[in-house]
Amino acid sequence: MDFSTQLTLFSTRFLGIFIEAVSFLLLGTIVSGLIEVFVRKEDIARFVPRNLFAAVAAGSFLGFLFPVCECGVVPVTRKLYQKGLPISVGVAFLLAAPVMNLIVFASTYAAFGFGPILIGRFVITFVMAAAVGLLFSLQPSPVGLLQPRALITMAGGSAIASLQLGAPQSIFGQSLMRAARVATDEFFDMGRYLVMGTALAAGMQTFFSQEQIRALASDPSTSVVAMAIMAFVLSICSTTDAILALSFANFGFPAGSLLTFLTFGPMVDIKATLMYLSIFKRRIVIYMVILPLLMSLLFGIFINLNVRF
């Protein structure tokens, strides 16, 4: 294959992933802008349960309230941190929300029906997200974990600032303008991670062959590893990965391996990992990749070896 063919292939894949993902990122940044302007710190403090376990569980299920996929969840989480959301709750939300929402429920149901894959996907995601969230609660000080940018609380308690800036009758309009500007900032900030991640994912798809990975389908443990690698490399949106998983089932991948793909992929993939860097310090991002990886591998292998459907 000559270089120009490869370049066009790369370009088509790159733009395909980008066009799809940028729409979701934009939705996320707009939600984030609205949170900045209309949600106060006290609201967050009031709604987060006192009990640690309850709080982390609530974080895992928050996705049903904010229907965002893995591109949109990053700006929303960062904004919630700026509003004082506890680290552990945010981590649980960040990891679980791409799966824990109605859109993903619908697409998984469409692909696999109501059965072990659907239930397994949601249960395993919840367990993994809650476990990582609880682990992060051991380090309650956000300073050690977050990027400085994610810590800065933007000036002004929203409504108060705009009250002083504009005429009283246009407070709402002013707030909307401010939300738009916050959304723009976030979009530029996160957009570069998205572009880099998309380019990497498209490059991997273009320059590496998937055939070797598919050849691993028959073995109960290597097929799980293969699915985890696929999930990481492909970086497809969690709202549609169920349908792709169905085509892997076609190549002979067993249920446990598919569950690894369906639980690890939405939490961690090339573009999500790069976007996490806009919230967390590099060391923490490594934990956030490795912990879900190990857990989803264990779940996948265990199911392949011990559970018969």
Our CA dihedral for 176, 179, 184, 190, rounded to 10 degrees, sits at -150
Q: How far is the CB of 135 from another protein (least distance, A)?
A: 31
From 172, 198, 174, 155, select the one nearest 25 (Cα to Cα): 198
Q: How far is the CB of 194 from another protein (least distance, A)?
A: 9
- Total count of residues recorded for the chain: 309
Q: Record the tokens describing residue 157, joined without a space.
A: 């308690």
Kindly tell me which of 250 and 306 has the beta carbon lying closer to another protein.
250
Report d(CA 124, CA 117) in Å as an integer: 10
Kindly tell me which of 189 and 219 has the beta carbon lying closer to another protein.
189
Q: How far is the CB of 87 from another protein (least distance, A)?
A: 22
Report d(CA 202, CA 14) in Å as an integer: 5
Q: Is 280 helix (H, G, I), strand (E, B) or coil?
A: strand
Q: How far is the CB of 161 from another protein (least distance, A)?
A: 5
DSSP code for 85: -
Q: How far is the CB of 51 from another protein (least distance, A)?
A: 33
Which amino acid, one-letter code, is at 296?
A: S
Kindly tell me which of 13 and 78 has the beta carbon lying closer to another protein.
13
DSSP per residue, 132-201: HHHHHTTS--GGGTB-HHHHPPPSS-THHHHHHHS-GGGHHHHHHHHHHHHHHHHHHHHHHHHHHHHHHH
Which amino acid, one-letter code, is at 235?
A: S
Question: Which residues are paired to 146 by β-bridges?
Answer: 280
Which amino acid, one-letter code, is at 204?
A: M
Q: Can you give the binding site for another protein, defined by CB under 8 A?
A: 1, 5-9, 11-20, 22-24, 26-27, 30, 152, 154-156, 160-161, 164-165, 177, 180-181, 183-184, 187-189, 191-192, 195-196, 198-199, 201-202, 205-206, 208-211, 214, 234-237, 239-241, 243-244, 246-247, 249-250
Kindly tell me which of 20 and 61 has the beta carbon lying closer to another protein.
20
Kindly tell me which of 58 and 243 has the beta carbon lying closer to another protein.
243
Q: How far is the CB of 294 from another protein (least distance, A)?
A: 26
CB 62 within 8 A of CB 19: no
Q: How far is the CB of 10 from another protein (least distance, A)?
A: 8
Kindly tell me which of 205 and 222 has the beta carbon lying closer to another protein.
205
Kindly tell me which of 221 and 240 has the beta carbon lying closer to another protein.
240
CB 258 within 8 A of CB 298: no
